[in-house]
Chain A
């Protein structure tokens, strides 16, 4: 389940409130989600959740579900 906070970060990055986001969503499916915005989102997630990722953790993310799981592990 993707948290509202994470969805809000992503929707704010693309200035689009209507993007459909779920566990299986990948970057390719979101218009404009490229490598630059990816880093921006990761940084915003770190700031807003108060966590820190390692580069290899980010490189292992395949979809939004992976990102949410990683956030949950960092918080919990």
Chain B
């Protein structure tokens, strides 16, 4: 079941009601049961995969924690988690490419197996690696299996993160959660924001983006721009919405999740972008891929950019088993390194520097160019479509679309302007100028108002099929 569905709302309401009604000792088993119902509602067989990985990671983590030299024993555990991910997500990609190579060399093609990708496998295998590495580097393991099973399977974070590290949640899981109406108010507000971002904003831009990228017609430059900018906005609102709903849901049950997005389109460098976008994933890539690799190169500073390039390329591949994702990751790797070389490092907290220096503005333009051109690579269906779209940027009028309709351009412009306003309100810290008390304190007076106004505007402007005026028939 998806977050923005009636089924989920009913599921959440029932889980919430039962959770705060049953005896405290029943709460964790109830959440685990609800989580497996949530996960198995998609395909019940994969519940065994989740349970199996939970048993393995819990047991292996406890075993590693007892060893003198924990780090020596880490690798089998990492291999099991990564191997699970590679098997389900990349077997087909690997075989397709090997088969294509063999055909080129005069050999025969290999039959490509049909392997269904378990929902959330990219996330819960990465969570497994994070758990084992953290335990191997000194973090106490989660001792009770029930506690670990909750950490592993708790549904708000199961399918699409945030990727939570054990140190962030262990105390919360091991200690009793107490009722807090502030938590409930906060959680409901985050869920509401998530729903608006996803159902109203992202889902209304989606048809525009789909039209551009799935059309067989030749796009013009305006179509490519609208599609690319539209996708950049869609993915931001869509994914940040998911995180909001996940964080809000967890809060209803008394759990505090880490944030996953921090106004990424304010970033003044690619490095800063990745500290604001999908923060728990970029943290994972930095801590578990870049750092060990860069440590190997540390005596040769010139080689450290290679570690960054490799880490980002892997990040791209994690997003999907397609060459376009690999190129997208490498694209970000290149700009990350270029940013290190070309852009000055901020000596004040990034949020304070915005707009105050010309170098900040130049850095922001550089970063937005990298990010939005990256979204074009991310969204295209194939490398040949990427080539077509890049050529199309130089053709056709910037004022006359060839695929999208003019009201779609207006819609994307509207969301773009609204997003810019939201970000400007954040820079100016307008929310702090209005104090609300009690339950209202969960509201951000200015940014939430802008968000809700934008949602209403999108509803009005979104293309629902123009109808002629009723009186025209008379």
Contacts and interface: CB of A to CB of B under 8 A. Distances in A.
Contacts of B133: 56, 59
A59 B291 contact: yes
Interface residues of B, number: 32
A18 B347 CA distance: 11
B301 interface: yes
A55 B347 contact: no
Contacts of A42: 295, 298
Given A31-B347, A34-B275, A55 B136 contact: no
Nearest to A44: B298
Contacts of B348: 31
Interface residues of A, number: 24
A18 to B, nearest CB: 10
Contacts of B347: 14-16, 31-32
B308 interface: yes
Given A36-B304, A42-B298, A60-B137, A55 B291 contact: yes
Interface string A12-43: 00111000000000000001101111111011
B420 interface: no
A58 B349 CA distance: 25
Nearest to B350: A31
Nearest to B287: A59
B346 interface: yes
Majority DSSP secondary structure for residues of B touching A: helix
A12 to B, nearest CB: 14
B168 to A, nearest CB: 12
Given A32-B346, A39-B304, A55 B299 contact: no
A73 interface: no
Interface in B298-339: 298-299, 301, 304, 308
B271 interface: yes
Contacts of B136: 56
Contact of A40 (B139, B292, B296, B301): B301
A40 B291 CA distance: 11
Contacts of B296: 55
A72 B292 CA distance: 22
B271 A34 contact: yes
B343 to A, nearest CB: 11
A16 to B, nearest CB: 6
A56 B137 contact: yes
B286 A39 contact: no
A49 interface: no
5 tightest Cβ-Cβ pairs between the two chains A and B: A60-B137, A55-B292, A56-B71, A55-B295, A43-B298
Contacts of B345: 14, 32, 37
B107 interface: no
B138 interface: yes
A2 B422 CA distance: 41
